[in-house]
Amino acid sequence: MIVQEARKRNVPVMIHAHGDEGARAAVLAGAKSIEHGTFLSDETLRLMKERGTFLVPTFITLEDLTQPGGDYTGPVLELRGKFMMPQAEKVFKKAFSLGVKIATGADNSYTANTTSRISLECAHFVRMGMSPFEAIQAATIISAELLGVEKNTGKIEKDFEADMILVPGNPLEEIRFLQDALMVISNGNIALKRIPFGKK
């Protein structure tokens, strides 16, 4: 009912679901994305491919459960995270092999204490089988498509919002370079500059 009512107003619906039963029901109802999807079955993943439903694994958030600090801490969460991570990796690899659209995401508040970062999610995507270019696309144009803003942002092109970062090396060769932004340009304005710029 929620998806049907949202569709009347052209509002896409994302579903926060670890389990397969709820996620499958959401895909059948027309949800645009499944966040987490830790226990998705192969059948549900095939259905997502067929219907164009996105997967946002939030793998870095599961890792956060297992580490001290960050947004989630505690012995129960740590045990849960250690159980969930191998399963989430299995689902990611199957989804990727099927061609399900995969976008980056992190289930946290992105505060000063947050240890989950999209750059780390990209590193996990590469470790689990994506090329660095595919992982960068998952964080840019694929995520923009999921959010419905792909006509304005997500790629470097004329008349698109100029949201870019400068990193110390080529992330196509080493994805971890994304973790060290030296400069951030947001909509054409320099928001962060950590290096001397323009010196000969």
**pLDDT tens, N- to C-terminus, the chain (200 residues):** 999 999 899 999 999 999 999 999 999 999 999 999 999 999 999 999 999 999 999 999 999 999 888 888 899 999 999 999 999 999 999 999 999 999 999 888 888 888 889 999 999 999 999 999 999 999 999 999 999 999 999 988 999 988 899 999 999 999 999 999 999 998 889 999 998 765 55
Q: Three-state SS string across 63-129, please?
A: HHHHCCCCCCCCHHHHHHHHHHHHHHHHHHHHHHHHCCCECCCCCCCCCCCCCCCHHHHHHHHHHCC
Judgement on whether residues 105 and 38 belong to the same structural domain of the protein: yes
Judgement on whether residues 129 and 169 belong to the same structural domain of the protein: no
Write 152-161 long-range contacts (CB < 8 A, 24+): 161/187, 161/188
Judgement on whether residues 199 and 135 belong to the same structural domain of the protein: no
* Cα 184 from Cα 178, distance rounded (Å): 12
Tell me, what amino acid is at 50? E
| Cβ-contact 34, 45 below 8 angstroms | no
Judgement on whether residues 142 and 185 belong to the same structural domain of the protein: no
Domain residues for 175? 162-200
Q: How many CB atoms lie within 10 A of CB 148?
A: 12
Judgement on whether residues 172 and 141 belong to the same structural domain of the protein: no
